[in-house]
Amino acid sequence: MSGGRQFVFEFPHRSALGESDYLVSESNSEAIGWIDKWPDWPAPALAVYGPTGAGKTHLGHVWRARSGAVLVEAADVSSASPPQILDGAVNCIVDNADESIDAETLLHLYNHIGELGGKLLILSRVAPARWTLPLADLSSRLNAAPAVEIKRPDDNLLRALLGKLFQDRQLKVSGDVLDYLLPRMERSFDTACAIVEASDRLGLSEGRGITVPLARDVLGQLHANLQMTEED
């Protein structure tokens, strides 16, 4: 087939969330340092907070692989009992904990994990000290736990991440393409993944390599899609 678009069959590309895929830079080194200290945390819980797309969930998967923790979304466990949440585990990760989890549920989970000798990893956008909580007991427990921030990926981390994501898809990319993308993209892991996925799809459908012109087209497509989403 020549001169026209190729059909692209969408096969799911699994996100790489293993420890070997977690890239470390100044923006997240303190957080991974605390993960490395497990199980010797000074409290039953550790809070990791930072903006959406900073890599908190990926870090949670790293600790999950080490600790055997169960990972739950806060919205899915409100009003559930600690044994129901843990499902036989002694360690737990609560993702998006500042968005929708019930304070009483989190307090009971914290206490239950402490009684089991386990650990609780809390992932949130905002530090627990800034949460508005109706339970003083929960506030005091969370304030006593270490809290560490993950910042948005810096240039070094984003460059390494983009390079790895392209490599994972067996796509050759030059430094010129990365130099073009870095100052023009949102600084998040999610955006980096979206750029690489869209580049792969567009390059395959049009028979093009990963070049600066293709990267320009990809950013234009993603921007247009974002505008359409916001209008909806």
Q: Kindly state the average pLDDT of the residues 19-29.
A: 80
pLDDT confidence bin for 3, thresholds 50/70/90: very low
pLDDT of residue 178: 96
Question: How far is 176 from 144, CA to CA, in rounded Å?
Answer: 47
pLDDT at residue 16 above 90?
no
pLDDT confidence bin for 21, thresholds 50/70/90: low
Question: How far is 91 from 63, CA to CA, in rounded Å?
Answer: 10
Over residues 132-153, the pLDDT tens digits come to 999 999 999 999 999 999 998 8
Percentage, residues of the chain above pLDDT 70? 88
pLDDT at residue 7 above 50?
no
Q: Which residue has the higher pLDDT, 3 or 138?
A: 138
Q: Kindly state the average pLDDT of the residues 42-60.
A: 92
Statement: 28-149 belongs to CATH 3.40.640.10: no
pLDDT of residue 219: 96
155-231: CATH architecture: Orthogonal Bundle (1.10)
pLDDT at residue 121 above 90?
yes
pLDDT of residue 22: 78
Q: Kindly state the average pLDDT of the residues 170-198.
A: 92
> Which residues of the chain form CATH 3.40.50.300?
28-149
pLDDT of residue 20: 59
> Which residues of the chain form CATH 1.10.8?
155-231
pLDDT confidence bin for 101, thresholds 50/70/90: confident
pLDDT of residue 6: 37
Q: Per the omega criterion (within 30 degrees of 0), is the bond before 82 cis?
A: no
Task: Give yes or no for a contact between 145 and 45, defined as CB atoms under 8 angstroms apart.
Answer: yes
pLDDT of residue 71: 96
The residue count for the chain: 232
Whole-number average pLDDT of the chain: 88
Q: Kindly state the average pLDDT of the residues 39-47.
A: 97
Strand order in the sheet with 92-95: 70-73, 92-95, 120-124, 45-49, 147-149
The model carries a pTM of 0.78
